[in-house]
Amino acid sequence: MKFTTIANARKQTGLSYLGNINSSAKMIKNQIVSNNYTYIIYLAPANTSGYNVCSHSTPECRMGCLNTSGRAGIEIHSHKTVILNARIKKTRLFFEDQDFFMQWMIAEIQMFQRKAKKDDYYFSIRLNGTSDIDWQAVKIGDKNIFEMFSDVQFYDYTKNPYKFINKASNYHLTFSYTGHNWVKCNEFLQQGLNVAMVFKVKKATDIPTMYNGYEVINGDLTDYRPLDGQGVIVGLKWKRIPNKVTETFVLNSPFVIKLNN
C-alpha cells in the first residue's frame, strides 16, 4: 500500500487510527495534571499478533498485561473483541508494511502536535502503550522517529535494559521490575535511573513512600514520566484484569509487591 492521507489510510486498512491523544484514563491525567497532550499507540502485546513486540516479557507481565484493562476490558466482559482485533491489525501492519505504518504515524503525530499548540498544551509521545518495541532501531529513510521529532519529548516503560544504551536525548525511559530482575533494577536506581514497580494496594494513595531504601513516588497521579526526578521507584497500583484465575496467579507472583513482605 502507498500512504497518501490519513483519511485514505483509514479506508485502505479499515482502522480508525494508529494512535490518539486522551484515549484512556491515564492519558487524560496527563492532560489535567501535566498539561500534556500525549500521543500513544496501543499494539497487541508480546506475540498475540503473531509478531513479538515485547522481547523481554515474562509470564507474569504477559498474563497481567493492561491490554485487557480499560475499554478493552469492558469489551471483553461484553464478549466483544473490537479493540483487541484492531491492535492485532495495527501490529501486523507495522511488521508487514512498515513504511506505510510509519508514514501514517508521522502524519498523525504532526496533526496532534498542531492541535496541542493550538490548544496551548505541551505535546509528548508514548509509542509503547502495550508493547516494548525498540523504536531507535526503526528507520524512516536515514533517521529514526526521535531524530525526526527532535523537539518532542518521548517516553516509555521498558523491560529491555539494552534500550538505555545510546538512548536519544529526547527519549525518557523507566525500567520495569519483573519480579526477577531486582539486581538490574538496583543497579539502575543507583545510576539515577527510575524503576516502575507494581504494588498490591487498595488505593493508589496507599503506595508506600519508601521501598528497599529508595524513594517511591505515586506513578498513578499522571502517566507523564519525564518529570519524575532521578533514582526513584515509580509505584503503580495493581490494575484488575477480567480473568480471575489469571489475576490470582499474577497477584501471588513476585511481579506484584505485597507490602507485608
What integer is the mean pLDDT of 179-199? 97
Residue 222 forms part of a structural domain: yes
Q: How confident is the model at residue 77 (pLDDT cuts 50, 70, 90)?
A: very low
User: What is the pLDDT, as a whole number, of residue 246?
Assistant: 76
Residue 228 has pLDDT above 80, yes or no: yes
d(CA 198, CA 200): 7
User: What is the pLDDT, as a whole number, of residue 79?
Assistant: 45
Residue 76 forms part of a structural domain: yes
Residue 225 forms part of a structural domain: yes
Q: When comparing pLDDT for 53 and 247, which is higher? A: 53
Q: How confident is the model at residue 76 (pLDDT cuts 50, 70, 90)?
A: very low
Residue 77 forms part of a structural domain: yes
With cell 480473568, the residue in question is 243
User: What is the pLDDT, as a whole number, of residue 238?
Assistant: 86
Residue 1 forms part of a structural domain: no
Q: What is the mean pLDDT of the chain?
A: 90
Which residues are CB-neighbours of 25 under 8 A, at least 6 positions away? 70
Q: What percent of the chain has pLDDT over 90?
A: 77
Q: How confident is the model at residue 130 (pLDDT cuts 50, 70, 90)?
A: very high
Residue 115 forms part of a structural domain: yes
Q: What angle do CA 222, 226, 229 make, to 5 degrees?
A: 95
Residue 223 has pLDDT above 80, yes or no: yes
Residue 6 has pLDDT above 60, yes or no: yes
> Domain residues for 231?
6-257
pTM strictly above 0.75: yes
User: What is the pLDDT, as a whole number, of residue 23?
Assistant: 77
Residue 138 forms part of a structural domain: yes
